[in-house]
């Protein structure tokens, strides 16, 4: 039974890494290198490379450390943010032709929710600290700050984007001003933080139930 569980664990991580790299490669080939400016692409690459790192570690060490699982928890929430923001805030702006593509489903649905499922099913029940969500929340905040800085100072254009030189409408300083984007970023960071705590709590509760048995 344990051997089967491990095979599924490894196989799921291989699938997620493959989906992330294929989805990003398709987007870069189709739209160009400027896609690297998007949080979607960056978060998919982070997840893909980290899954490969975990596979390498398991092949050489036969296990994963608690620290690696805590880091994976942060990357899990980072990619879940990708899927949630796209579906709730960006999907309504897309045409059916833009939505119904293989690369879109890979980077916005398969990888985000597959990574969350991998975390819930395969990661150890009690591997996080209560302070972890605070550190995890720095990831989207750091992206927002860097994206705004590049847009304001370098003014590097993003093709086929009405909010260029900003990657997302909620980071468009020219349109909403600093106060406007600050409200968007704080709201997203708060949502990210709360859902991160929900993940930690769910793992803690699962651990308590296992001990009770």
How distant is the alpha carbon of residue 191 from its chain centre? 14
Mean pLDDT of the chain: 94
What's the CA gap between 56 and 167, in Å, rounded? Answer: 33
Calculate the alpha carbon distances from 204 to 43, 120, 123 in Å.
Answer: 26, 12, 12
pLDDT tens profile 63-75: 899 999 999 999 9
pLDDT tens profile 29-53: 999 999 999 999 999 999 999 999 9
pLDDT tens profile 94-144: 999 999 999 999 999 999 999 999 999 999 878 899 999 999 999 999 999
DSSP string, 42-99: HHHHHHHHHHHHHHHHHHHHSS--HHHHHHHHHHHHHHHHHHHHIIIIIGGGS-HHHH
Taking only Cα atoms into account, the Rg of the chain, rounded to an integer number of angstroms, comes to: 18
Q: What are the residues whose beta carbons fall under 8 Å from the beta carbon of 139, sequence distance 6 or more?
A: 74, 78
The reported pLDDT for the residue numbered 205 is 80
Look at residues 55, 35, 56, 30 and name the one whose alpha carbon lies nearest to residue 45. 35
Mean pLDDT of 162-190: 98
What's the CA gap between 127 and 130, in Å, rounded? Answer: 10
* First-to-final CA distance of the chain: 19
Using the predicted structure, report yes or no on whether residue 213 has a pLDDT greater than 70: no
């Amino acid at each position: 039974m344990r051997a089967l569980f491990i095979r599924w664990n490894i196989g799921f991580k291989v699938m997620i890494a493959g989906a992330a790299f294929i989805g990003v490669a398709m987007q870069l080939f189709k739209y160009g290198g400027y896609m690297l400016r998007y949080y979607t692409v960056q978060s998919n690459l982070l997840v893909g490379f980290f899954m490969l790192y975990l596979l390498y570690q398991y092949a050489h060490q036969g296990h994963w450390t608690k620290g690696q699982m805590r880091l994976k928890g942060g990357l899990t929430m980072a990619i879940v943010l990708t899927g949630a923001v796209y579906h709730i805030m960006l999907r309504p702006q897309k045409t059916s032709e833009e939505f119904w593509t293989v690369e879109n489903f890979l980077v916005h649905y398969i990888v985000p929710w597959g990574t969350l499922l991998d975390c819930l099913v395969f990661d150890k029940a009690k591997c996080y600290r209560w302070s972890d969500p605070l550190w995890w929340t720095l990831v989207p905040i750091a992206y927002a700050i860097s994206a705004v800085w590049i847009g304001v100072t370098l003014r590097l254009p993003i093709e086929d984007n009405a909010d260029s030189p900003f990657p997302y409408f909620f980071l468009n300083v020219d349109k909403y001003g600093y106060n406007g984007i600050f409200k968007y970023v704080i709201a997203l960071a708060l949502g990210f933080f709360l859902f991160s705590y929900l993940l930690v709590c769910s793992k803690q509760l699962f651990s308590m139930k296992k001990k009770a048995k």
